[in-house]
Amino acid sequence: MNATQARLRIGFIPLADAAALIVAVDKGFAAAEGLNVELVREVSWSNVRDKLNIGLFDAAHLLAPVAIASSLGIGHVKVPIVAPFGLGMNGNAITVSPALYAAIAAAADGSIVDPMVSARALARVVARRKARGEEPLTFGMTFPFSTHNYHLRFWMAAGGVDPDEDVRLVVLPPPYMVDSLANGHVDGFCVGAPWNSVAVDLGVGFILHFVSEILLRAAEKVLAMRDSWAQEHPDTLLRLVRAHGRAADFIEDEANRDEVTAMLAAPDRIGVAPEVIRRTLDGRMKIAPDGTVRVSERYLLVGRKGAARPDPAQAAWLYAQMVRWGQAPLSAELLAAAKAVFRPDLYDAAIAGAEPSVPGEPNDGIGAFAGPAFDPDTVAAHLAAWSIRRA
């Protein structure tokens, strides 16, 4: 391939955490690295995964667990994927209907800002419904191999709710989430920006938790490519990672926020109101229809706090969730293969001076609100800490 003019097709889903990808292309960081990138907007993760797998895309904005599942051959075709750059950490939120919000608040024995209090309250609500013979609560998430699925499960199971027995979890495309909440098809959901804000703005939902309250660090989307492609195009890969590093820095500089917001809000990119994107980037979220705001500097980490450098401990945590919920068998080989998807070595080769650990961040790299610290070498111990599990 010509080293000065590489043409790339990259698929993405219109979500706020595609920010680094969009800015890398639209602000010219990719072109500065000699890359001619065509961004292709997609409507489903299945499409992104399949088009990446069969080579219609060179790279993609991908759910971190899909990159791992694809590499392990779980639930679908086995295609080894590498993730040399993290497109976002956190950024999801759990939103519930006004009725469920009121029920959880009434059943709580403390402040429901605390996820353990809210999860235990949910367990009481669930038990009461069961005793009355009512239908189980239904929660929407975006994909079987999604952070949203695991975040919902991790939270509710910590409070004693079995996500497979006590409630129903259903896959819903993000654009259908808000409608489904409004017409009662679901009682709550876990999804990324901007959909939680849309539900709050329409008065049909309350944001119960930011995912950053459940896990301080949760790898969300990655820049993914086929392992074979990465090996055939080592130079192009490094240039692509470098362009993304510049884009992430640019996004995180608050001086650029207006420009970044406008770029992301464009109709052929994310295509939502700039104000909603702005809230996400600022971590200032309206959480209730009455206008109550909750602020978190961790709401979505694009490049700050080492968020862009892939951490194999994150891959191990996601694999542990697949095992916990019966999606994958437990084996040392699969654990090693999962960790190998996240490639800090490629990140470091492209971006000099990255620190492996960031001061003030949790020692285990996860910072979960419940359970023991995560040890990426002993997934079995992580599983043993939980009574509600499938494995």
Partner 1 sequence: MQSSLKIVIVDENPIRAAILEDGLREAGHVHVVRVDEMSHLLARIYTIDPDVILIDLENPSRDVLEQMFQVSRAVKRPVAMFVDQSDTASIEAAVDAGVSAYIVGGLQKARIKNILDLCISRFNSFARLRDELERTRTALEERKVIDRAKGILMKARNLSEETAYALLRKTAMNENKKIAEVAQSVVTAAELLR
Q: How many residues bind partner 1 (CB under 8 A)?
A: 28
- Residue 50 CA to residue 55 CA, distance in Å, equals 8
CB of 150 vs partner 1, minimal distance in Å: 13
Of 30 and 63, nearer to partner 1 (C-beta) is 63
CB of 222 vs partner 1, minimal distance in Å: 18
CB of 225 vs partner 1, minimal distance in Å: 18
Of 180 and 212, nearer to partner 1 (C-beta) is 180
Of 36, 46, 228, 357, the one binding partner 1 by CB under 8 A: 46
CB of 384 vs partner 1, minimal distance in Å: 22
Q: Is 138 a residue that touches partner 1 (CB under 8 A)? A: no
Of 34, 53, 256, 289, the one binding partner 1 by CB under 8 A: 53
CB of 34 vs partner 1, minimal distance in Å: 28
Taking CB under 8 A as the rule, which mask of x and - marks residues 219-248 in contact with partner 1?
A: ------------------------------
Of 32, 113, 171, 332, the one binding partner 1 by CB under 8 A: 171
Residues 182-211 that bind partner 1 (CB under 8 A): 183, 185
Q: Would you tell me how many other CB atoms lie within 10 Å of the CB of residue 369?
A: 16
Residues 73-132 that bind partner 1 (CB under 8 A): 75-77
Of 12, 45, 195, 229, the one binding partner 1 by CB under 8 A: 45
Interface positions with partner 1 (CB under 8 A): 43-47, 50-51, 53-54, 56, 75-77, 142-144, 170-176, 180, 183, 185, 326-327
